Amino acid sequence: MNEYYPNLFSPIRIGSLTLKNRIMASPISLFDLSPTPEHKHSLNDRLFYRLRACGGASVVTVGDSIVHPGGNTEGFNDNKVNIYMRSSIPYLLDITDEIHRYGAYANIELNHDGIRAAFPGHDAWSASAYERDNGGHVLEMTEEMIEEVVDGFGISARNAKDAGFDMVMIHAGHGWFLGQFLSPFWNHRTDRFGGSIENRARITLMVIDRIRKYCGNSFPIEVRLSGDEAMPDGLPGIDINDAIEFAKLLDRKVDLIHVSAGNNNFDSSEMVTHPSMFLEHGVNVKYAAMIKPHVKTPVVTVGAISDPAMMEDIIARGRADLVSIGRALIADPLLPEKARHGNTGDIRPCLRCWRCLGEACETGALYCSVNPEIGRAFDHFYPLPATSPKTVLIAGGGPGGMQAALTAAKRGHHVILCEKENELGGTIRYCKDISFKKDMDDYREYLVRQVMESGSIEVRLGVTVTPELVREISPDHLIAAIGADPVIPPIPGIEHAQGLLDTYMHRLPVGNRVVIIGGGLSGIEAAIEFAHAGKTPIVLEMSSRYAAGSNIMHGFAMNVEIEKYGIDIRTDTRCTGIAPGKVTCENADGTYELDADTIIYAAGMRARRDETDALRESCFEFESIGDCKKPAQIREAVTGGYFAAMNI
C-alpha cells in the first residue's frame, strides 16, 4: 500500500486489464501526428507519449483518431490520426511500444468530427442537416450512412488493437459526432435515432456492439461523455439528467465510463471542458460523482485535477474510481511518480494558461509555458551532462533566470544566481493577490523551492549584477535575465495615473471606477480581476483588438468573464489626457471625458537594454534571455533560460 496516497495508488481491474494506479493520462491529440506516408509522425510525437508513460500514469491515451474518411475537421487539426487506415498501424505500433515500456497501458480515442468536418466543398455527416457559419453543409445521415460510420468505428478499433493498443476510448462527449446524436440541440430526427435518450444513444450502443464484434468481448472499451454540455444562452444540450440516463444505458456494456463536460462547438462551453484559470480545480468532478451511484461500471473524472491530495480524496470518497489528467501532465509528466514517492513539492504546477492547446490550435505546435521539454522530449530522455563544469553567473531571479539556474545546475555546472530584490520570483510575484493566478503563484513557489533546495545553486539576494561584479566573479558564462520595465505612455497628465505592475506589487489602492489605459493581455486580466473584486473597470485600447497578446483559448476564457461581468472595453479609443479623477478619450466620433477614482496604465514592457548591453561586454560567453532580450510571455522566458543553460 502506498504510504502517501493509498487509494490513488491502489490497482483496479478494468475488464481484462489490471491498472497499477488510478491515474490516466487524458487524450491529447498531437497536431503533427498523422500516420500517413506523407505525414509520418515525428520522433517528438513518440517521445511525447513515452514521457507521459514514463511519468507513471497507468493508462496513456492517444487523442482524437478519426474512424471514417469523412470525419476529419478542415483546418488546424487536419493531421489527426486516420485510424481507419491499415497504413496507420506501423506508425502507431511505435507509439504503443513507447507507452508499454513503462508498464502503462495504451489507449486511443476513436472519434468522428460530425458537423465540424463541414466546409465549403466538403459536406459533412451528422444526426440532422445543418448549415455551418463557414458555408459548409451537413447532411442528415441515412441508415446506410450510419451503418458505414458505425462499421468505421469497428474497423478502427480492430486497427488499434493490431497496433498494440490495449483498449479504446469512444468519444461521445464534447459535441463531436456521437455527442451530436445525443444532443437535443443537434439531433432533430424523428426515427429510431432521435427523440428519447434511448434513441439518441442508439448509435453509440451500435458502435460498442461493433467494436465487440471486431475485437472480442475482452477488449476494454471506455466511453467519454459530457456530464453537462454547459450550453450557452440556455440552448438545449445534454444536462446531468441526460448524462445519467446515458450512463445507465452504457452500464456493464463498457469497461469505463469517462465523465468530462462541455461542448467544443461553443467557446464558453469549451472553457468547461478544459477548465480555464477562472474556474476552480476539479470543477467537473461533481458530474462523475452524480453518475457513479447509478452504475456498476468504474467511473473516471477529468478537468483541472492536478493536486494528488485532491485525487486521493476523490477516490477515497468514492466520487470516481479513476482520475484523468490532461494539462497537468504536460506541465509535469512525472506527476504520478512524484506523488507515489511523496515528493509532491517537486510537481511543477500547470498554469492553465492555455499555451498548450492555444498554441496547437494556432500553429500546430504543442508547447508548455512551464515545461521546456514539451515539444522536445528528446532532451528529457537523453540529457547532456556538462563535459567540463563551468561557473555560470545568472543575473535575475525571475522564472527565466531560475529555470536557467536549475537546468545549468542539473547539468553539473556551478551556478551563482543573483537577484537585485530580496526575494526570487521577478515580475510573477505580482500574482500573489490575484485569485485566478493562484496556479502561477504556486509555480513561483515551486521554482523558488527547487532553487533553494537544489544544494548546488548559490543564491545571492539583494545583489545587482554590474560589470564590476562580473569581473570580480569572473564566470565562464553570464546569462542576463534582468527583465523589462513598464512603458510609461507619453500622455499629458500621466503623473496622475499609476502603473499596473506598481499597483499589484505595492498593493496600491484601487477605487471603484477604474480606468485602465491599455487593453493588452495584462490590461484585460487586470480589468477581470477588478471586476471580480466588485469594481467597475473601463478599458481603453487604441487598436481595434483587445488582449492581442493572448493565445486563442485564454482569449475565449477571458471573453466569458468579460461577458459575465459586463466589462466595458473601448477599442479604437485613445487616451489623450489625464487630470486628477478624469480621463480624456478620443475615438472616431470625437472626444469625451470619463470620471475615474483610479487611473491605471498597462502599456506594455520595454526591455532593459542599456543594462543588458552593459553586461554584454563584461563576459566573453554572454547570453540574454526573457524580457530583457524581448518582452514576451512566461514560456519565452522559461524556454529561453532552459536553452541558454543547455547550450553551455
Q: Which residues bind ligand FMN (CB under 6 A)?
A: 26-29, 63-64, 109, 171, 224, 260, 273-275, 302-305, 325-328, 356-357, 360, 366
Q: How far is the CB of 23 from ligand FMN (least distance, A)?
A: 11
Q: How far apart are CA 150 and CA 129, in angstroms?
A: 19
- Residue number with CB closer to ligand FMN (259 or 417): 259
**How deeply is 573 buried, as exposed, middle or buried, from its count of CB atoms within 10 A (0-12, 13-18, 19+)?**
buried
Q: Which is nearer to ligand FMN, 366 or 418 (CB)?
A: 366
CB of 351 to ligand FMN, least distance (A): 12
DSSP class of residue 38 equals T
Nearest-CA neighbor of 6 among 344, 292, 313, 299?
313
- Which residue number, 306 or 612, has a Cβ lying nearer to ligand FMN? 306
When the beta carbons of 171 and 608 are compared against ligand FMN, the nearer one is 171
| Residue whose CB is less far from ligand FMN, 28 or 83 | 28
User: What DSSP state is assigned to residue 263?
Assistant: B
| Lookup: cell for 327 | 494539462
Q: How far apart are the C-alpha atoms of 599 and 605, rounded to whole Å?
A: 18
Closest distance of CB 521 from ligand FMN, Å: 19
Closest separation in Å from C-beta 208 to ligand FMN: 17
Residue 162's Cβ-count burial label (10 Å; 0-12, 13-18, 19+) is middle
Q: Are strands 130-131 and 137-140 parallel, antiparallel or unpaired?
A: antiparallel
Which is nearer to ligand FMN, 128 or 260 (by Cβ)? 260
The closest alpha carbon to 181, from 137, 212, 226, 220, belongs to 226
Q: Cβ of residue 57: shortest distance to ligand FMN, in angstroms?
A: 12
**120: Cα separation from own chain's centroid:** 30
SS3 state at 138: strand
C-alpha cell at 386: 556538462
Shortest distance in whole angstroms from residue 466 CB to ligand FMN: 43
- As measured in angstroms, the least distance from the Cβ of 590 to ligand FMN is 45
Residue with cell 459575465: 564
Task: Give the integer Cα–Cα distance in Å for 453 and 192.
Answer: 63
Phi, psi values for residue 126, rounded to 5°:
-160, -170
What minimum distance in Å lies between the beta carbon of 328 and ligand FMN? 5
Nearer to ligand FMN, 290 or 300 (CB): 300
Q: Which of 51, 101, 106 is nearest to 83 (CA)?
A: 106
CB atoms within 10 A of CB 196: 10
Closer residue to ligand FMN in complex, CB, 169/500: 169
Closest residue to ligand FMN in the complex (CB) = 63
Assess contact for 314 and 307: CB atoms under 8 A.
no
Shortest Cβ 366–ligand FMN spacing (Å): 6
Q: How many CB atoms lie within 10 A of CB 616?
A: 15
CB of 390 to ligand FMN, least distance (A): 36
Q: How far is the CB of 636 from ligand FMN (least distance, A)?
A: 19
Give 64 or 98: the residue with its C-beta nearer to ligand FMN. Answer: 64
C-alpha cell at 502: 506598481
Considering the complex, state which of residue 349 and residue 426 has its C-beta at the smaller distance from ligand FMN. 349
Between 275 and 518, whose beta carbon lies closer to ligand FMN? 275
Overall residue count recorded for the chain in this entry: 648
The DSSP secondary structure of 455-522, one letter per residue, reads SSEEEEET----HHHHHHH--SEEEE---EEE-----TTGGGSEEHHHHHHTT----SEEEEE--SHH
